[in-house]
Each structure stands twice: as C-alpha cells, then as structure tokens.
Structure 1
C-alpha cells in the first residue's frame, strides 16, 4: 500500500508540474531588455489586460527582431509581451 501511495503522489506531482509549466512562460532576457528599451507610445484602454487573453484590436502590436515567438504592445503605460500570431498576452512587465 505504501508503494501505491508513493506512486500516486509522484503522478500528482508530475501532473501539477506540467500544469504550472504550461501557464508560465520564460522570456529570453533579450526580449525583456528589447521591450523595456523601446520608446513606444502607450495606448489607453479602459478594460483589463489579462495574461492568457488577447489584447483588444485597438492595441498596436510590434514585432521583436529575431524573436518570432514574441511581440509587444504598450497599454496603459505597461509593456505587454504577446504571442504575435494570436495577440494573446504572455506576460505584463512591471
């Protein structure tokens, strides 16, 4: 029974780690640095910008050179990393 309980615990840990890994995006350092250094105008938006949701159509998304998996926008004075294909928010830089 002890071996069974340990197996279940190991499986739950592995599943939990996978779920967390899917929600966490590790940005390459050069992506963060590039976005923070850009002098891009901010778009004012009344709604919330939420990780996992697309930015509104009124928000201009800019590509990041040599980083095809990431783009960015500036919304309400916050820099936002997005998926360039879906415009889904990946991370909000604080």
Structure 2
C-alpha cells in the first residue's frame, strides 16, 4: 500500500512539476515541488515533489533557459563595468565584499534572492549573503 502511494505521488508530481520549476533554480524548484506534491498526494507527495523540483530546477539553473538570452541582453544594455578578478571565475567562487557592485536582478527574471555583477567580462549571479557565484550567464 505504501509503495503504491509513493509511486502514485511520484508520477503525479513528475507530471505536474517540470515546466513550472525549470525557471526557479534548486531552492525555488524544491519549494514549489513540495507545495505541489503536498497538494497532489499529501505528505508523501511533498517529499517526492521537493526532490523532483530541486533536481528539475537545478538542471535549469537559477535563471530559466529561456530567460538567459534576455537577461544577458539586459546586462549588456546596462553598461556596467567589469571587475577584474585574478582567479578563474566559476560556480562556488566567493567574490570580495568590496571593490565591485552587486546589482538587483529585475523581478521579471524571477531571481529575487540573488544579485548580479560582471566579473572578467562575464555576467554572474551571486548569493548576496555569501558573495558566492551561483551561476555564470554565458
């Protein structure tokens, strides 16, 4: 009985979630998945939905695949100077607290918890609490 319930919850969540979480990243995808899973199949669905949402959202990154070109164009139009960082920039690098400016991501891109900046001529999304690079927009 429990296996059937888990299987039904997983199928329900897998069918409902992917399109809606692709643009939300890991955290947003996990939160949305848990809500939708709970609505579809109760507590078991919430657990399954959270896991599926996190994976699906993580594949797309913080910005959805369809948002990246528009966001890249937006940043180019802002003409922000590029900060020179001595090391290669990759996800997980912690940028300095000072010397560069962290800009708010406009609401239309659905990443309100992040900031962006330009480092070594690359646009990067940053966690504003830790200054860790969470995504490189290429």
Equivalence for 1:93: 137
Query: Structure 2 stretches of 5 or more lacking a match?
Result: 1-51
Q: 2:63 aligns with which of 9, 27, 30?
A: 27
Query: Structure 1 stretches of 5 or more lacking a match?
Result: 1-16
Residue 35 of structure 1 aligns to a residue whose secondary structure is helix
Q: TM-score, normalised by structure 1?
A: 0.60
- Relative contact order higher in (CA < 8 Å, ≥ 6 apart): 1
Q: Is the 1:49–1:55 contact (alpha carbons within 8 Å) kept by the matching residues of 2?
A: no
Q: Distance in 1 between matches of 2:88 and 2:118?
A: 13
Residue 86 of structure 2 aligns to a residue whose secondary structure is coil
How far 1:21 sits from its partner (Å)?
6.0
How far 1:36 sits from its partner (Å)?
4.4
Equivalence for 1:61: 102
Name whichever structure is richer in strand by fraction.
1
Equivalence for 2:79: 39
Equivalence for 1:50: 90
Q: TM-score, normalised by structure 2?
A: 0.44
> Over residues 43-74 of structure 1, what are the superposed CA-to-partner deviations in whole Å (9 max), with x where a residue is unaligned?
11112222023212333211113242221111
Name whichever structure is richer in helix by fraction.
2
Q: Distance in 1 between matches of 2:129 and 2:73?
A: 21
Equivalence for 1:71: 115
Q: Is the 2:62–2:135 contact (alpha carbons within 8 Å) kept by the matching residues of 1?
A: no
**Over aligned residue pairs, what C-alpha RMSD do you find?**
3.1
Equivalent residue pairs, number? 81
Residue 75 of structure 2 aligns to a residue whose secondary structure is helix
